[in-house]
Amino acid sequence: MATYDTLGATYARTRRPDPRIAARIHAVLGDDIADVLDVGAGTGSYEPPETVLAVEPSRVMLDQRPPGAAPGVQAVAERLPLRDDAVDAVMAVLTVHHWSDPAAGIRELRRVARRRVVVLTWDQDVFLECSPP
């Protein structure tokens, strides 16, 4: 069972994207991208309009995607159901820490991206060390 099958039941109602993060992701993706794959997409919080497919392991999260969002497929980063060089860009936002094999997931992102891979992640240990007491 995917982690967010249990944690994500109200995600679409309670999770709000940070506009600063969204702006940075969109800037790094660039204006010259025709199509984007969102890996670990959740409900699509940070997806640009160029998103053509969302990959998400949790059916609960996929079911909360808003009307008009890119179609979603239930799969994992380590085994993307796409051919080589399938899209201009791949994005993976706040998802790597959930992957069973991050190196394999990154290889897959690189395999399906023709031009660009954008990954935003965080390291809980660093966060905890930097947090005020």
Question: pLDDT of 59-93, one tens digit each?
Answer: 999 999 999 999 999 999 999 999 999 999 999 99
Taking all residues of the chain, what is their mean pLDDT, rounded to a whole number?
88
Q: Which residues contact 80 (CB under 8 A, 6 or more apart)?
A: 37, 39, 55, 108, 109, 111, 112
How does DSSP classify residue 42?
Answer: T
What's the pLDDT at 13?
A: 63
Domains for the chain: give ranges and CATH numbers: 3-130 (3.40.50.150)
Grade residue 4 by pLDDT with cuts at 50, 70 and 90. Answer: low
- Strand pairing category for 36-39 and 72-74: unpaired
Helix residue ranges, H only, the chain: 3-7, 11-14, 19-29, 59-62, 102-112, 124-130
Are 98 and 105 in contact by the 8 Å Cβ rule? The answer is: no
> Model pTM?
0.85
Question: Is the pLDDT confidence value at 133 over 50?
Answer: no
